[in-house]
Amino acid sequence: MLKFYFNRLTRVQNMSVFIQCLNPLTGTNNWEEKDENYDYHQEVARSAFADMLHDIERNQTYYLGIKSAIEKKHQNGEKANVLDIGTGTGLLSMMAAKCGADTITACEAFTPMAKCAIKIIQENGFEDKIKLVHKRSTEMTVGKDGDMVKKANILVTEVFDTELIGEGALSTFRHAHENLLEENSIVVPHTATIWVQVVESSTVCAWNTIHPIQNKNKCLLNIPYSVKSCSGAAAVHDIQLTQFPDNAFKPLLPPQPIFRFDLSGKSTLLYDEKKCLHVKPTVNGTAHAIFMWWDLVMDINNEVLLSCAPVWEHPDTKTLQNKGFSMKVIANAMPWRDHWMQAIYYLPVETSIAANNEISLIGYHDEYSLWFQLINESINEVPDCKRPVCTCNIHVAYCRTRIGQLNDYTRNEKYIKALEKKITSDTVCLCLSDGCLLGLAAIKLGAKKIFILETNLLSRKCIEMFVKTNDLSEKVEVIESVNNLPPESAINLIFGEPYFITSIVPWENLHFWYLVSRYSSQIQRIPIAATIMGIVVEFKDLHKIREPVGVCEGFDLSIFDKLIQASSDKSDSPIEAQPLWEYPAKALTLPFVIKKFNLTQNVYESENVNISETVPILIEGTCNGVALWVDWQLNSEITVSSGPTIEVHPGKRISWDPFTRQGVHLFKDITHVTLQSNVLWSFNFIPQYGNVKFDFRVLSKNMQ
């Protein structure tokens, strides 16, 4: 199953493919040699089955549900004929075989996984019990010459995402009941329930809408009405809510079950539905957003529950608290899953509510999505409400992290202080960053004129909207292309945050250095330096997204591990971007400097960098990753960091900047390290081509 990429030229030579790729540092397109099956390997590596298979609770509850269903059919004197939709590795089918199913048909449409599942099923000795069909379930046939001789009477499937229904679960179950299952079939899971909780949280709001830029009680930049009134993006905001600070939100009412889906087939699953809850808030406050999660009941006796609730609302939490366990201990013991997180939905209108005054909380869903609204009174007739769509371009142009970054008062304050030291009434500033509202704010700080480079169309529209709202047209000129940058004689200050939409990992924002190098070093600039930093860590869970599964619930899945690893080696960068505030990590070393760059010098005149050093392990632990970030030195006194927010202490959890994604290197071989261990790191950088390469290796005592 290969993706087709438009506007891409390729040529094949010696079983390789040359792909034209954008270098985010230089901003130029380069030819890169890749494996001829590069697209295929990307598909496989990103299939994201691995972290799901590390979810012990998921695996065990499915096992119990399957066992219960098969026993029930046998107790009724029936054969247990199982259909497994989207089998993946074949794990659930092998569970069914182990539990004594009479027949098992598994279907898998993704070709690499279908082939892999066949090998895994053979390796575990179930090839005579499981029939694998390489099709979507909606393409399967039943009959003498069909994919199944007769309809199944047990369905087991896992087709859920963070939003529960986003992968087409409703249509999958509905089609199966109408075409592939007998009446009175048992379905695993049996039911699914979506839970919602209304909250007040300025922190949450900061991810969804832009706030005015303030300085010393003075407004430097007002917000367009179209931004204030926009309902936001329809895309789900998935998040690890258990890691969200408990002092950053206020629940306004207890969690409410709003949609319950009977997956058993006794009632038809609806693609379009609305549900109104009449509830009384427990406290006064302003309703900003909805926290959402869901749970599954795996068996018809309602005895096996899998909950995706955050720790403060998890059904096991009160039980553990009554036994004397602290919330910290409970949170640490909660099942971790990156495939089913919680979600935030933003209410179209902020609403003030009062305790004990009944309100109407309304939920809507179509075949794939959820959305909500809240009315501050009890209503009888539920209004229709269209799925939210961004009308201001902000939510399309920028990711949630960037929107939060634009609202970070502490960060903005540092940039404003740095600008104040440089700006005079004669300042003509060139701003080199995408969506840089601080560049516009420089006008209110006294700058004579601002040039803003905006090569991204949507970002440019957003900036032009802010320019118009703040009556800055006479002092701001928006430039669409680097080829149209003003001459050196026209400017005397170059400013950047730096932030670029094309940047994924933090150091790719060094694109600022390449842009600023079009001018001589005589022109003042902010920032003046950038330092790539690193720290060796022990992740509590994050490493599981790349960790081999091995044996899962007694079944050998090493063939799957080899498939994923082989494709990852051919398609993945050794460094990926992650929002580390969501993923607990313990420091095993102190932060170390990898390379400091002087941004006042021309990047093309800089020498190639080839560094290799070691960093000592300062506390015993499990070494499974290295975290990387960039510190931006605005001047000799002010630094903005995309890394830790407080001082790092070995052995303690690291607090990360929540408004950037850090770079992460995950070790393939997880190693127990002691005080005698070191980590060898190397860094290579070729300024002329913008090539960056990291390498990390754990050295035990006998290797040093």
CATH number at residue 579: 2.70.160.11
Range of the domain at 428: 400-502
Give me the active site residues, please: 158, 167
Q: Are residues 197 and 103 in the same domain?
A: no
Bridge pairing between strands 493-495 and 476-479: unpaired
* 662 and 608 both lie in a single domain: yes
543 shares a domain with 691: yes
pLDDT at 570: 77
- Predicted confidence at residue 153, as pLDDT, reads 98
pLDDT of residue 16: 63
Task: Output the CA–CA distances (angstroms, integers) from residue 186 to 81, 164, 190, 295, 454, in the order listed.
Answer: 10, 20, 7, 18, 57
Q: Are 633 and 529 in contact (CB under 8 A)?
A: yes
Question: What is the distance, to the nearest Å, from the Cα of residue 82 to the centroid of all Cα atoms in its chain?
Answer: 34
The size of the chain, in residues, is 704
Select from 188, 211, 241 the last residue of a domain. Answer: 188
- Structure token pair of residue 643: 């890394």
Domain membership flag for residue 519: no
Q: Assess whether 79 and 55 both reside in one domain.
A: yes
Which residues have CB under 8 Å from 266's CB, separation 6+? none
How high is the pLDDT of residue 18? 66
What's the rounded Cα separation, in Å, for the pair 507 and 530? 9
Q: Is residue 8 part of a domain?
A: no
Tokens of 481: 């292309």
Let me know whether 363 and 272 are in one domain: yes
Of 392, 418, 439, the domain-final residue: 392
Q: Tell whether 584 is covered by a domain.
A: yes
Report DSSP letters for 290-349, one per residue. Answer: EEEEEEEE-STTS--EEE---GGG-TTHHHHHHTT--HHHHHHHSPP-SSS-EEEEEEEE
Closest CA to 153 of 306, 61, 264: 264
In this structure, are residues 160 and 238 in contact, taking their beta carbons and an 8 Å threshold? no
Helix, coil or strand: residue 496: coil
Beta bridge partner(s), residue 584: none
* pTM of the full structure: 0.92
Q: Which of 546, 551, 666 is nearest to 48 (CA)?
A: 546
pLDDT on residue 217 = 85
CA distances 524 to 425, 482, 487, 516, Å, are 15, 19, 15, 10
378 in the same domain as 279: yes
Q: How many domains does the chain have?
A: 4
Q: What percent of the chain has pLDDT over 90?
A: 85
Looking at the fold, whether 246 and 105 belong to one and the same domain comes out as no
Q: Map residue 659 onto helix, strand or coil.
A: coil
| 263 and 175 part of one domain | no
CA-wise closest residue to 592 among 485, 484, 680? 680
Do 548 and 645 belong to one domain? yes
- 146 belongs to a structural domain: yes
Last residue of a domain, one of 502, 537, 560: 502
Residue 217 sits at the vertex; the CA angle it makes with 420 and 641, to the nearest 5 degrees, is 50
CATH of the domain at 451: 3.40.50.150
Which of 626, 470, 614, 466 is closest to 536 using CA atoms? 626
Buried b or exposed e, range 14-30, using 16+ CB within 10 angstroms: eeebebeeebbbbeeee
Residue 342 resides in a domain: yes
Instruction: Please check whether residue 13 lies inside any domain of the structure.
Output: no
Cα–Cα distance measured from residue 160 to residue 193, given in angstroms and rounded to the nearest whole number: 12
Q: Are 380 and 307 in contact (CB under 8 A)?
A: no
C-alpha dist (Å) from residue 635 to 329, 411, 416, 494, 644: 43, 14, 12, 13, 20
Question: Does 23 fall in a domain?
Answer: no
Residues 494 and 408 in one domain: yes
**Structural domain includes residue 470:** yes
- d(C-alpha 433, C-alpha 603), whole Å: 17
Q: Are residues 320 and 415 in the same domain?
A: no
Which residue stretches of the chain have pLDDT < 70?
A: 1-19, 32-41, 45-49, 701-704
Give the pairing of strands 428-431 and 449-453.
parallel
Same domain membership, residue 647 and residue 534:
yes
Three-state DSSP class for residue 484: helix
